[in-house]
Amino acid sequence: MKRFFKLFFGIILFILILFQFYPRANNNLTLGISLNDITLHHNVPVPVQQILATSCYDCHSNNTIYPWYANIQPVSLWLGNHIKEGKSELNFSEFGTYNLRRQYRKLEEINDQVKREEMPLSSYTLIHRDAKLSADQKLVIATWVTALRDSFKANYPLDSLQKKK
């Protein structure tokens, strides 16, 4: 029985070592700022940019700053999946490609998820303590989102921003 466990754990160890050669997805698609980045299409004050960069961009942009443990499988696959999912929901690097209705709705979702403390994810802030939003930072985001949505309402017809009921 002892020999069976040694063989079993040896095989598991071998598979884990072999798994380390599986390449990780790299989410550093652009150098610098994309031409479709939200900051090039809308007024994003510096304090908001700093909050977004610290708390959002790793999963919601084309430029992720990977921690050391991102090189270890299967953690790399798990992180890659989170990033892929996050970017499919909202990508600040591609925000300028969204139509007006989607931009308007995404801004509302940002505000709602920050207020409900759904974003940033608790699994992210567990390790990235500086990404956890303070009450003041939440207020900064809410104020910015409200002002930007108000500017949309002032500059575009309402039917271009909301679905018809």
Most confident of 24-28, 45-49, 66-70: 45-49
Tokens of 23: 């390449």
Beta bridge partners of residue 63, listed in sequence order:
28
* CA pair distance 142, 148, nearest whole angstrom: 10
Residue 139 reports pLDDT greater than 60? yes
Q: What is the pLDDT of residue 155?
A: 85
Distance between CA 81 and CA 86 in Å, rounded? Answer: 8
Phi, psi (deg, nearest 5) at residue 28 = -125, 70
31-52 average pLDDT score: 88
The secondary element (H helix, E strand) that includes residue 149 is helix 135-155
Averaged confidence pLDDT in the chain:
84
**pLDDT tens-digit profile of 101-117?**
999 999 999 999 999 99
pTM of the model: 0.79
At 6 the pLDDT is: 78
At residue 28, the 3 state secondary structure works out as strand
Residue range 83-99: average pLDDT? 92
